[in-house]
A and B are shown apart, each in its own frame.
Chain A
Amino acid sequence: MFLKVQLPWNIIIPAESLESNGLMLQRSMILRLLDDFASKKASKELGYYLAVTTLDKIGEGKVRQNTGDVLFPVRFSGITFKIFRGEIIEGVVHKVLKHGVFLRCGPIENIYLSNMKMPDYRYVPGEDPEFMNNKLSKIKKDVVVRVIVLGTKWLEAEREFQALVSLEGDYLGPVS
């Protein structure tokens, strides 16, 4: 689910890029914020960081003693993406393995649908391998599948989420 969030943040402006012109200062703050935001990628609490929408409040700047840089506490609004256990999502298959498939949903690449969680589907090997059930419904590369999220896991080192999903439920499966 995409979320609209408001976040407090600290922006540090190096002394050399401080301008007396207020507009330029605001510009360098926004650029710095966009940079920081993009490089942070994601957090366990809020999910993936997509975009900054507005800069809502700029606090009083504080000069840092050793470097002369100025730190501004700010508050801004932005969009994040997080998936929840029990949520129903639609993903696109991007990898087919013998024991299951990987889906992509928004910025998340590692969403695993195990063969054990789609019991009526059977693996069909070949150049373009796929899973097929006896109603000839197919799960293969680039197919959209509607699934339920069984669990999510945050990987601190990679700053990424992984998820396990299932087809066990009503109205789940490949979407034509």
Chain B
Amino acid sequence: MSGEEEENAAELKIGDEFLKAKCLMNCEVALILEHKYEQLQQTSEDPLNQISQVFEKSLQYVKRFSRYKNPDAVRQVREVLSRYQLAEFELCVLGNLCPETAEEAMAMVPSITTKGRFQDDYAIDKMLNDLSMIKKFE
């Protein structure tokens, strides 16, 4: 299967270049692609030709899988999650899947229990609670 046998996102082994790379949450990608789509409609003489299949499928996907729609809420989600010393990859998995309990969060992102970033489940719950507040007031 995959060339690098070591790759395992559950342990945050995704290759150095990706660990440092900025990841984007589905809701952030939705905002960027929607903007891009409008831009193309306006500026291009032949808009349909400028839009690749990859672009179109991705736009459909992120529209369906964005937990947050409002641009302000999207910004807040990143801001709140940034306070918890998460890797970019971990941050985006949490923002995409929005787990409801600490147990679920640990199943989705097993690596968050490492490096002593969360002392107990309660600390994780607090972070998830902050996230759900954003959703509530969106």
Contacts and interface: CB of A to CB of B under 8 A. Distances in A.
Interface string B1-26: 11100011111011000100111111
Interface string B91-123: 011001101000110011100000000000000
- The SS class assigned to the A binding surface is strand
Contacts of A152: 1-2
A104 B26 CA distance: 15
B26 to A, nearest CB: 7
Contact of B107 (A4, A48, A109, A169): A169
B55 A51 contact: yes
Contacts of A171: 99, 103-104, 107-108
B9 A49 contact: no
A88 B108 contact: yes
A49 B2 contact: no
Nearest to B10: A86
21 contacts: A1-B89, A1-B92, A2-B58, A2-B92, A3-B18, A3-B22, A48-B54, A50-B54, A50-B58, A51-B36, A79-B29, A84-B8, A84-B9, A85-B8, A86-B13, A92-B61, A107-B54, A148-B10, A150-B1, A151-B1, A171-B104
